[in-house]
Structure 1
Amino acid sequence: MKTAPRVGVFGLLGSGNLGNDGSLEAVLGYLRAEHPEAVVDALCGGPEVVMARYRIPATRLHWYRGEYRTASGAGAIAAKALGKLVDAVRTAAWVRRHDVVIVPGMGVLEATLPLRPWGFPYSQFLLCAAGRLFGTRVALVGVGADAIGNRPTRALVRWSARLAAYRSYRDALSREAIRAMGVDTTQDEVYPDLAFALPTPRTTAPPGPPGLVCVGVMAFHGGDDDRARAEEIHRRYLDGTTRFVRTLVDEGRPVRLLTGDKCDAPVVAAILDAVDSPLVTAAETASLADLMKEMAAAETVVATRYHNLICALKTGTPTLALSYAAKSDALMERMGLGAYCHPARQIDAGQLLAQFRSLEKRSAELRRTLAERNLAAARQLQDQFTALTAALFPTAGKTLQEVR
């Protein structure tokens, strides 16, 4: 008889980041379509959400529940240190129970947002080391990477990549970043982000009000190397975004504010407070599908978060990126909108408006371009999943006796 493969999914899933959960959804769709016999569970940041939403068993990633809170007292510091030791044992035991572990997309090999080495980089290193120790195939699938300045973080990321059994990337710059860290990437491939494999929601709802602009905002404080200037960067970003929204409202344009993570809510509140107008509303979204429905109803999208951009581009809506990392620029270039990137760190109201007006003038042309690029992305992701099956399930179809 055949043996059902035991497959684990790993990451900051169910923790409030819609992009991370969208990557998980894409991989679960692949597994259910191509490997329905697989027994799947998760080691993740938000197990309650993952169990409720995706109907798979899930275990909390960290033993210490205050892992992502700043340890301010001796007790908290000791608990966090103990948690690192406990997590090493817990992670190894979880990995050992699986044939395959998949890290679905996400920027797990980058530090474009503030990141401590003993946080997720350490957890991922434990995963990959345990996989190598116990013979469990660990796959980093369609992940993002970038240059990392912090040496401990860079070392953990480099060793995680080296120890993984399979790697693929969501853009060429990610592969180059890992190669520059000293990892052999000659067998690694580049495919579109996993979120492009998600179905585009079909909606019978009427389009949004005439001239609707969706603005995706972010609790942006710079990257891992910007901690000293984090508040200054955030104030500049919030001020620039608010001024842009106010200009649209002054022209009579309705604006719909969107987020991509629960931590973005204060930015929405600040803009609503500063631009006191019924033309500005905020959407409540629980998934990338919800985001896509909002963006499909808009004439134009201006967004910051990477997966906000993907949702807008996937619906074929002309999009302008408030870019905070090279991955956003690479995505926009890949989708034919490379001219419509604006730096999130230094928003220039005049230049941003000029880019926005140019984008709207070319709307019909850009919608055709996006339709073509989306078809190409779908075909490339089919190739990704075919390659993944060959790498992770080489015994598919063999009997239990043959495997032994």
Structure 2
Amino acid sequence: MRSPRETPPRVGVFGLLGSGNLGNDGSLEAVLGYLREAHPASPVDALCGGPATVTARYRIPATRLHWYHGEYRTASRAGAMAGKGLGKLVDVFRTAAWVRKHEVVIVPGMGVLEATLPLRPWGFPYSLFLLCAAGRLFRTRVALVGVGAAPIADRPTRALVRWSARLAAYRSYRDAESRDAMREMGVDTARDEVYPDLAFALPSPPRGTPDGTVCVGVMDFHGGNDDRARADEIHRRYLEGTTRFVRALAEDGRRVRLLTGDECDTTVVAAILEAVDSPLVTAAEVASLADLMAETAAADAVVAIRYHNLICALKAGTPTLAVSYAAKSDALMAGMGLGAYCHPAREVDADRLLEQFRELEKHAPELRRTLAGRNEETVRQLDHQFTALTTALFQATAPRETP
């Protein structure tokens, strides 16, 4: 253990942070809150997708994750393909140089060990592997904290994810299904723990005055990694079913607030607003999970598809119905006592969704009591997560010799 006079360990945070996904940024915010309270002397910086946003919002230095600026644009021309290929090589050295400057690197939450949405192996899985391999090489303790995982069919992606997990110094998961998935992929999870999602550590919003509003969280949903052949059909069915549901609420005189969780979701919001064309249906402008929580806290009920939209509503104590696109949503709802209120995202049936919604509202008072108790428990569990993180990373960190 370091003596009080030694230099505090340098901490890095890593991931697709500041890139427009509010859930990812919420996980970062929770980890930064922990670091500033428990380890205020440790300098923190980021290697991330949106460095300008991270620096402006969270006041920490940040470096771009990829050397090639067009990393997440489809490369159809020879020049773009060459740029991506060169970028993969350059990123080996950039990532290694960044990791070497730290004693601890934290990957805060996020579904970094899953492919429930379209994902290529040479994208983020490759970046995560470079991080964990560099951590092992330079004896930097890389921690995958409260991450999500799921079975992966694609062999290259599965191999990169499996080796990333094996090379990490610390792992914890946001649900038992994630730990089971990694065990099935050949990772020894005997010492890995399960805790609630990191976003549950964020401050709870004040309860608003319910006025009959229903929040409907939407997503630019095209299925997962294994659904590429029918992605357009899945998207059309999801959009049509969600639009019919919103229209039915408006025809009943209910105010509807459309919520997003990523910048790409705005196209779905625009399509629903145009199709329903009602003054009762409006779109919320949200820039953080705190904004999302405030919206859901003021609602009578929430129907949402994005995982962190669900977390915000559950954290706010609002009766919630999940339009579920992955096992992680089902597990989250079951863990919070609302397992009966899930609807398949790939087969949205507006009539059935309305039936489930009315059942949800009928049991709203008891569901609010259930959520209040479960939220108290999540706070206790996350306190234990951060204590375990301090023990595993900071008390075990010692001056290193360069290999």
Report if TM-score (shorter chain) is over 0.5. yes
Would the aligned equivalents of 2:206 and 2:297 in 1 still touch at CA under 8 Å? no
Aligned-residue identity in percent = 78
**Whole-angstrom distance in 1 between the partners of 2:350 and 2:286:** 28
1:81 and 2:93 correspond: no
Instruction: Look up the SS of the partner of 1:293 in the other structure.
Output: helix
Identify unmatched segments of 5+ residues in structure 2. none
**CA offsets per residue over residues 2-55 of structure 1, 9 Å max, x none?**
311100000000000000000000000000000001100000000000000000
Is residue 2:109 matched to residue 1:105? yes
Deviates more, 1:141-150 or 1:345-354: 345-354
Q: Structure 2 CA distance, aligned partners of 1:315 and 1:58? A: 31
Matches within 5 A, 1:21-100: 21-100=25-104
- Partner of 1:142 in structure 2? 146
Offset at residue 68 of structure 1 (A): 0.2
Equivalent in the alignment of 1:338: 339
Specify which of 170, 190, 195 is matched with residue 191 of structure 1. Answer: 195
* Matching residue of 2:310: 309
- Contiguous gaps of at least 5 residues in structure 1: none
Distance in 1 separating the partners of 2:180 and 2:204: 30
**Aligned-partner residue type, residue 223 of structure 2:** G
- What are the equivalent positions in structure 2 for 1:153-232 lying under 5 Å apart? 153-202=157-206, 207=209, 210-232=211-233
In 2: Cα distance, 1:19 partner to 1:127 partner: 21
1:340-359 residue CA offsets vs partner (Å, 9 max, x unmatched): 00000001122111110110
| Contact 2:245–2:351 (8 Å) recurs in 1 | no
Amino acid paired to 1:257: L
TM-score (norm: length of structure 1): 0.97
Write the distance in 2 (CA, Å) between the matches of 1:89 and 1:292.
40
- Distance (whole Å) between structure 2 residues aligned to residue 201 and residue 41 of structure 1: 28
CA distance in structure 2 between the aligned counterparts of 1:218 and 1:350, rounded to whole angstroms: 20
SS at match of 1:10: strand
Cα distance per residue 1:279-320 (max 9 Å; x no partner): 000000000000000001100000000000000000000000
Are 1:266 and 2:267 counterparts? yes
1:131 Cα offset (Å): 0.2
Separation (CA, whole Å) in 2 of partners of 1:184 and 1:200: 35
Equivalents in 2 of 1:391, 1:87: separation in Å?
28
SS at match of 2:146: strand
Deviation at 1:395, TM superposition (A): 5.2
Which residue of the partner structure matches residue 298 of structure 2?
297
Secondary structure, aligned partner of 2:83 = helix
Give me the whole-angstrom Cα distance separating, in 2, the residues matched to 1:95 and 1:191: 26
Residues of 1 paired with 2:98 and 2:167: CA distance? 17
How large is the Cα RMSD of the aligned pairs? 1.2
Q: The residue matched to 2:86 in structure 1 has which SS?
A: helix
Instruction: Give how far 1:81 is off.
Output: 0.1
Q: Which amino acid aligns with 2:87?
A: G
Inter-partner Cα distance in structure 1 for 2:278 and 2:80: 44
Distance 2:351 2:206 in 1: 36
Give distance in 1, aligned partners of 2:90 and 2:239.
Answer: 40
1:80-100 Cα shifts (integer Å, max 9, x gaps): 000000000000000000000
Segments of 4+ moved more than 2 angstroms: none
Q: Secondary structure at the match of 2:377?
A: helix
Matches within 5 A, 1:280-295: 280-295=281-296
Q: Secondary structure at the match of 2:347?
A: coil
TM-score (norm: length of structure 2)? 0.97
What is the aligned partner in structure 1 of residue 328 from structure 2? 327
Residue 391 of structure 1 is matched in structure 2 by 392
Structure 1: which amino acid aligns with 2:310?
Answer: L
Residue 163 of structure 1 aligns to which amino acid in structure 2?
L
